[in-house]
Amino acid sequence: MASTAIAPDVSSMAQITDVNQLTGRQKAAILMVSLDVETAAEIFKNLNKNEIEKISLEIARLDVIRSSLIDSVIEEFYKLIQAQEYVASGGVDFAESVLEKAFGPSVAKELIEKIRNSMKISGFVTLQKADSNQLVNFLIKEHPQTIALILSYLTPEQTADVLAEFPEELRVDVAYRIATLGKVSPNLLKDIEEVVEQLAESVISEDMSKTGGASALA
């Protein structure tokens, strides 16, 4: 039977010395309480309701925490901020190469993996936060079938806004494909996933610059 990861017992938080023993939410909670009230409040403003509730619950559960553990969480957060800035400016591959030089291949791989996981978890949910201009600028160069499939996962309002910005010929083509969508082939699905990941990367990079990376820790 597969083993299940168990979160550290909050009652033994004072005994935890390794930051890797903490869950992402616990790290986010420790980070938030280490900040001044104004900074923490600004970060909370850029998190969604679900993230705020989960991190607030972890903050309420916190007990005595070793100063060395707090330092480790802050250090990891700082490295994530750097990684996110590199991703935003040059993409994931650029970020990985710079991080390897700065922290070594092991740390770089770990940081990039966290960012990639953040992107994968968000998926189409992330795209639902994108504005119509972001979607139009990114999708207009894709195949109409790819555009149709992606738009079919978004809200009706977003779909209508995006279609309204397309040239008439493309708008009619995509609208028809949305209306007649059938079973999606594995190859097309793979293409869709790649496009969504690229677009989500763009949207997430902007979000990360606003939240300071707290959501990636969580």
Q: Is the pTM of this model over 0.75?
A: no
Cβ neighbours of residue 160 closer than 8 Å, sequence gap 6 or more: none
- Alpha-carbon distance 213 to 38, whole Å? 16
Please, what is the angle between helix 132-139 and helix 144-151, to 10°? 150
Asked if 116 contacts 200 with a C-beta cutoff of 8 angstroms, the reply is no
For residue 73, give the amino acid letter.
V
- Alpha-carbon distance 14 to 96, whole Å? 34
- What is the rounded radius of gyration, in angstroms, for the C-alpha atoms of the chain? 20
Closest CA to 145 of 170, 117, 169, 166: 170
* Fold (CATH) for 132-204: Annexin V; domain 1 (1.10.220)
Is residue 116 exposed (0-12), middle (13-18) or buried (19+ Cβ within 10 Å)?
A: middle
Q: Where are the domains of the chain?
A: 19-65, 132-204
- Tokens for 9, please give them: 């017992």
Residue keyed to tokens 């903050």: 59
pLDDT tens string, the chain, 218 residues long: the values are: 444 344 444 445 667 778 888 888 888 889 998 888 888 888 888 777 888 888 899 899 888 888 888 898 888 888 888 887 777 667 777 888 888 888 888 888 888 787 766 655 455 666 777 788 888 888 888 889 888 888 887 888 889 999 999 999 999 999 998 888 776 666 666 667 677 777 766 655 555 444 445 555 55
